């Protein structure tokens, strides 16, 4: 009797009932740069059934379908930000050229079987499209002369990008995490739907400081470094004048 489960297992493995159309995997690049192309794949297992159609949607709007019964089997619908390359697209993948910021969205593939089953399965994944120019972030407020103990008052602004880059200040190799030193000005809209992030730094000064601002989108980074030399001459004018007068008075008294 102990061999019975093994027997049933054997039966179920070898008698494939065509009720199990399933999507084995959808692959959508999570992050793409504007202007790049992208290949989205939809891998399915018909489990013996016959393919009726594969349809692709972005945010519920159809832009590509593959129906093996039609001649030609492929058809692309116009959709802003989606340029399908039919030559590189098949029943299991769709190739898109020249992505724009409007290409971002939730991509879904929907696979249907022919009669008699008419089963269908679907799967979806999000694609973010970014724009991150080579331009490094801009630092302002470091040009002027700082006196010792005078707090820094500098800002870092990203280049116009999308989405808004994350900004990080690094002072002498140390990431600044103390929120009381940071002022988040957030992201401001710029032309063409792009955004500029700004982060202020209000840190105490040291004699010489290496300030680095790092802008990141995903794993992409741009950075700029400036050096601040703080004027450590503690002999500020009124104080040194007083000393000189004091010395003169002492000299006069001695002589
Ligand atoms: C930093 O940015 C804020 C907001 O844009 C602005 O008010 C402030 O003057 C800037 N400071 C410097 C030093 O650039
Ligand atoms: C440093 O500060 C002193 C006193 O305020 C001033 O006389 C001097 O010009 C400053 N030096 C620089 C390099 O800014």
* Residue 229 CA, closest ligand 2 atom number: 13
pLDDT above 50 for 9: no
Mean of pLDDT values over 10-30 = 68
- Residue 61 falls within a domain, yes or no? yes
Statement to judge: residues 125 and 158 lie in one domain: no
pLDDT at 245: 56
- Residue 57 falls within a domain, yes or no? yes
- The alpha carbon of 228 and the centre of ligand 1 are apart by a number of angstroms equal to 18
pLDDT at 148: 81
How sure is the predictor about 231, in pLDDT bands with cuts at 50, 70 and 90?
A: confident
pLDDT at 49: 86
pLDDT above 50 for 11: no
Give nearest CA residue, ligand 1 atom 1. 155
- Residue 180 falls within a domain, yes or no? yes
How sure is the predictor about 242, in pLDDT bands with cuts at 50, 70 and 90?
A: low
Statement to judge: residues 25 and 98 lie in one domain: yes
- Residue 124 falls within a domain, yes or no? yes
Q: Which comes out higher in pLDDT, residue 242 or 17?
A: 242
Q: Is the dihedral of CA 69, 70, 72, 76 positive or negative?
A: negative
Q: Which comes out higher in pLDDT, residue 166 or 15?
A: 166
Per-residue model confidence as pLDDT tens digits over 183-216: 999 999 999 899 999 999 999 998 899 999 999 9
Statement to judge: residues 150 and 70 lie in one domain: no
pLDDT above 90 for 173: yes
Distance CA 127, CA 129 (A): 6
Question: How many domains, the chain?
Answer: 2
- Contact yes or no for 127/104 (Cβ under 8 A): yes
- Contact yes or no for 164/197 (Cβ under 8 A): yes
- Residue 239 falls within a domain, yes or no? no
Using CA atoms of 200, 205, 208, 212 in order, give the dihedral in degrees to the nearest 10: -20
pLDDT above 50 for 17: no
The backbone region for 98, taken as left when phi is positive above 0, alpha when psi lies in -120 to 50, beta otherwise, is left
pLDDT at 209: 93
- Residue 77 falls within a domain, yes or no? yes
Sheet with strand 93-96: strands edge to edge: 22-27, 38-45, 93-96
- The alpha carbon of 233 and the centre of ligand 2 are apart by a number of angstroms equal to 6
Per-residue model confidence as pLDDT tens digits over 84-130: 999 999 999 999 999 999 999 999 999 999 988 888 999 999 999 99
- Contact yes or no for 163/195 (Cβ under 8 A): yes
pLDDT above 90 for 63: yes
pLDDT at 21: 83
Statement to judge: residues 119 and 213 lie in one domain: no
- Contact yes or no for 92/42 (Cβ under 8 A): yes
Q: Given 107, 130, 153, which residue is the final one in a domain?
A: 130
pLDDT at 4: 43
Statement to judge: residues 115 and 162 lie in one domain: no
Give nearest CA residue, ligand 1 atom 5. 185
Statement to judge: residues 104 and 143 lie in one domain: no
SS3 240: helix
Is there an atom of ligand 1 within 6 Å of 98 CB?
A: no
- The alpha carbon of 201 and the centre of ligand 1 are apart by a number of angstroms equal to 10
How sure is the predictor about 161, in pLDDT bands with cuts at 50, 70 and 90?
A: very high
pLDDT above 50 for 10: no
Helix/strand/coil (H/E/C) assignment for every residue in 8-39: HHHHHHHCCCCCCCEEEEEECCCEEECCCCEE
How sure is the predictor about 254, in pLDDT bands with cuts at 50, 70 and 90?
A: low
Q: Which domain holds residue 225?
A: 138-229
Q: Which comes out higher in pLDDT, residue 243 or 248?
A: 248
CATH of the domain at 90: 2.60.40.10
Give nearest CA residue, ligand 1 atom 13. 141
Residues with CB under 6 A from ligand 2: 145, 231, 233, 236-237
Give nearest CA residue, ligand 2 atom 13. 231
């Amino acid at each position: 009797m102990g061999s019975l489960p093994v027997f049933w297992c054997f039966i179920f493995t070898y008698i494939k009932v065509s009720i199990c159309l399933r999507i084995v995997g959808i692959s959508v690049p999570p992050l793409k740069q504007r202007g790049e192309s992208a290949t989205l794949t939809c891998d399915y297992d018909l489990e013996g059934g016959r393919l009726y159609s594969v349809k692709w949607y972005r945010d519920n709007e159809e832009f590509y379908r593959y129906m093996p019964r039609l001649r030609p089997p492929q058809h692309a619908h116009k959709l802003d930000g989606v340029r399908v390359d039919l030559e590189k697209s098949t029943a299991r993948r769709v190739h898109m050229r020249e992505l724009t910021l409007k290409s971002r969205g939730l991509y879904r593939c929907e696979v249907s079987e022919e009669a008699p089953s008419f089963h269908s399965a679907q799967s979806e994944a999000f694609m973010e499209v970014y724009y991150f120019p080579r331009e490094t972030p801009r630092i302002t407020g470091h040009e002027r002369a700082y006196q010792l103990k005078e707090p820094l008052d500098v800002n870092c602004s990203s280049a116009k990008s999308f989405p808004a880059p994350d900004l990080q200040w690094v002072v002498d190799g140390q990431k600044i995490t103390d929120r009381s030193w940071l002022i988040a000005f957030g992201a401001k809209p710029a032309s063409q739907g792009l955004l500029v992030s700004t982060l202020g730094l209000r840190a105490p000064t040291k004699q010489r400081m290496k300030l680095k601002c790092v802008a990141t989108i995903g794993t992409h980074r741009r950075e700029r470094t400036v050096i601040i030399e703080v004027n450590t001459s503690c002999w500020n004018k009124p104080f040194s004048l007083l000393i000189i007068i004091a010395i003169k008075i002492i000299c006069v008294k001695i002589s």
